[in-house]
């Protein structure tokens, strides 16, 4: 843009205002034919060349600084060319059926949460090349599953955005499920309906486990299964707190193969495929994501949730967990309210750990639609997910425990186990 305008203007100026030298000095005149000597001709060539060079530099500066990336070289900006540090200078990928081809080159990545851990990532020709696992499971094309999942959450996201409105005030369209802290809205139901319809149109034989349709009565088999949480973080949604997401996962043989998480309010789309890595597309960043890699509590920001139970055991255990983290000099603690986005925050390095405990006996804690996709998202980003007891993670369980590294997970589990023991001693284990 700048190149065309500056060079074009320079050419016009040179055509109209040419220096003509005579015995009495140089004056400005108009006709190009007035340049009759070799000296005058070379003078014109020099001015034109300098105008072109200046136009190129201004064009490169304009496209790098104003547009955020070079118009000609998506991986290169003027700040990088001159060795100047830029705070946000991300690789470019395109969310579509045919991702933008990116040269295979080593670049220094600026991740969503910047810290002391510099990373160098290798960008391959496109996202599909990074998926090392076979793209078909039986008759199912996983790339088609991924694209359908993205399309479904974006369609549901339109409903969420319309219902969100200006983002102020409290929603009046709400109802309770298991208690006053467990809410459901018409938006939840509408989003689940549209996602289920899109899945059934393409895969009519697949099983669907949706939060608003199955309730507590569901089971997981080896059949191709989709999980749907239409509005994860409904309480946030009702109170207009912008931390809510639409979650979809695809499971075969009880293994999560595709995961999609979409925050319609901030327009952030996360996705992962088994063996193919985790990705984020947002207004500020497009590309692969990784956990922070944090190793210890004293350098961590941790999310813990209180859930919707208020019995003595839950209250006591929550209090002891918070106290234990503070005694370990945790950097900070958050209670955010969306399991799916909490896990996505760990996967993208914004948060270092997240945990939420529950049980079937007390009918508390998270369920498969809350964390199935997040399990794949954080694992493909280099993090760990397990049961707080240290046992392997169970998709049919009610606990979720996610950390940026195994070392951090071990340290946090000690805090949780100690808090649980103290709470049971105080309350006699009565929930």
pLDDT in tens, 63-80: 444 444 433 333 333 333
pTM (2 d.p.): 0.70
- Do residues 356 and 303 share a domain? yes
> Among candidates 171, 294, 280, 291, which has minimal Cα distance to 233?
171
Give the pairing of strands 225-232 and 207-210.
parallel
- Do residues 274 and 148 share a domain? yes
The domain spanning residue 215 has which CATH number?
3.30.540.10
Residue 174: the pLDDT is: 58
- Do residues 260 and 354 share a domain? no
d(CA 403, CA 296): 10
For 239, the 3-state DSSP assignment is coil
Last residue of a domain, one of 288, 321, 349: 288
Q: Please say if the pLDDT value at position 212 is more than 50.
A: yes
- Do residues 275 and 322 share a domain? no
Asked whether residue 307 is assigned to any structural domain, the reply reads: yes
CB proximity list for 123: less than 8 A, separation 6 or greater: 75, 91, 102, 103, 104, 105, 107, 287
Last residue of a domain, one of 37, 61, 85: 61
Q: Please say if the pLDDT value at position 60 is more than 70.
A: no
- Do residues 283 and 144 share a domain? yes
Phi, psi dihedral angles at 172 (to 5 degrees): -100, -5
- Do residues 332 and 279 share a domain? no
Last residue of a domain, one of 43, 61, 79: 61
> Among candidates 233, 419, 244, which has minimal Cα distance to 308?
233
**Binding site feature residues for Mg(2+):** 211, 229, 232, 370
CB proximity list for 237: less than 8 A, separation 6 or greater: 160, 163, 164, 171, 185, 187, 231, 244
d(CA 412, CA 274): 27
* Structural domain that includes position 370: 297-427
Asked whether residue 106 is assigned to any structural domain, the reply reads: no
Percentage of the residues of the chain whose pLDDT score is greater than 70: 65
Asked whether residue 116 is assigned to any structural domain, the reply reads: no
**Binding site feature residues:** 211, 229, 232, 370
Output the 3-class SS for 170-230: CCCCCEEEEECCEEECHHHHHHHHHHHHHHHHHCCCCEEEEHHHHCCCCCCCCCCEEEEEE
Cβ 206 vs Cβ 301: under 8 Å: no
Q: What is the mean pLDDT of residues 279-285?
A: 97
pLDDT in tens, 230-258: 999 999 999 899 999 999 999 999 999 99
Least confident of 19-28, 233-242, 321-330: 19-28
Asked whether residue 85 is assigned to any structural domain, the reply reads: no
For 152, the 3-state DSSP assignment is helix
- Do residues 165 and 188 share a domain? yes
Asked whether residue 109 is assigned to any structural domain, the reply reads: no
Going 95 to 268 to 77 to 349, the CA torsion angle's sign is negative
pLDDT in tens, 390-405: 889 999 999 999 999 9
Domain count, the chain: 3
> Among candidates 261, 263, 260, which has minimal Cα distance to 241?
263
The domain spanning residue 346 has which CATH number?
3.40.190.80
> Among candidates 49, 44, 45, which has minimal Cα distance to 31?
44
- Do residues 274 and 310 share a domain? no
Asked whether residue 388 is assigned to any structural domain, the reply reads: yes
Asked whether residue 365 is assigned to any structural domain, the reply reads: yes
Asked whether residue 73 is assigned to any structural domain, the reply reads: no
46, 52, 73, 136, 175 from 2: Cα distances, Å: 21, 11, 15, 47, 56
- Do residues 253 and 304 share a domain? no
Other CB atoms within 10 A of residue 168 CB: 7
- Do residues 279 and 328 share a domain? no
Q: What is the mean pLDDT of residues 361-375?
A: 92
Q: Please say if the pLDDT value at position 150 is more than 90.
A: yes
């Amino acid at each position: 843009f700048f190149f065309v305008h500056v060079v074009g203007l320079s050419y016009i100026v040179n055509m109209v205002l040419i220096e003509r030298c005579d015995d009495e000095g140089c004056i400005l005149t108009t006709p190009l034919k007035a340049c009759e000597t070799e000296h005058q001709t070379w003078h014109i060539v020099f001015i034109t060349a300098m105008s072109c060079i200046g136009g190129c530099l201004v064009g490169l500066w304009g496209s790098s600084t104003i547009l955020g990336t070079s118009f000609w070289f998506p991986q290169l900006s003027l700040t990088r060319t001159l060795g100047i540090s830029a705070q946000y200078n991300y690789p470019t990928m395109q969310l579509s059926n045919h991702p933008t081809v990116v040269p295979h080159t080593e670049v220094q990545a600026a991740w969503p949460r910047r810290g002391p851990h510099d990373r160098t990532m290798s960008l391959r020709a496109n996202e599909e090349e990074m998926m090392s696992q076979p793209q078909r499971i039986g008759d199912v094309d996983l790339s088609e599953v991924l694209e359908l999942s993205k399309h479904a959450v974006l369609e549901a996201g339109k409903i969420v955005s319309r219902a969100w409105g200006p983002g102020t005030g409290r929603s009046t369209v709400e109802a309770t499920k298991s208690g006053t802290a467990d809410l459901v809205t018409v938006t939840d139901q509408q989003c689940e309906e549209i996602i289920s319809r899109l899945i059934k149109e393409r895969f009519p034989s697949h099983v669907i486990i949706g939060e608003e349709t199955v309730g507590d009565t569901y089971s997981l088999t080896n059949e191709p299964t989709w999980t749907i949480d239409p509005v994860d973080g409904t309480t946030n949604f009702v109170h207009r707190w912008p931390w809510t997401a639409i979650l979809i996962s695809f499971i075969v043989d009880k293994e999560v193969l595709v995961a999609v998480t979409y925050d319609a309010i901030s327009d952030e789309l996360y996705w992962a495929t088994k063996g193919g890595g985790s990705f984020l597309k947002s207004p500020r960043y497009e590309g692969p994501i990784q956990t922070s890699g944090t190793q210890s509590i004293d350098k961590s920001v941790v999310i813990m949730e209180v859930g919707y139970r208020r019995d003595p055991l839950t209250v006591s255990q929550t209090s002891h967990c918070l106290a234990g983290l503070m005694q370990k000099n945790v950097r900070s603690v958050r209670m955010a309210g969306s399991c799916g986005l909490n896990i996505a925050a760990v996967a993208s390095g914004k948060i270092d750990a997240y945990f939420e405990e529950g049980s079937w006996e007390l009918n508390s804690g998270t369920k498969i639609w809350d964390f199935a996709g997040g399990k794949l998202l954080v694992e493909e980003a280099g993090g760990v997910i397990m049961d707080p007891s240290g046992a392997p993670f169970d998709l049919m369980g009610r606990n979720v425990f996610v950390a940026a590294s195994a070392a951090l997970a071990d340290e946090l589990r000690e805090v949780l186990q100690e808090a649980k023991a103290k709470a049971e001693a105080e309350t006699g284990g009565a929930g």
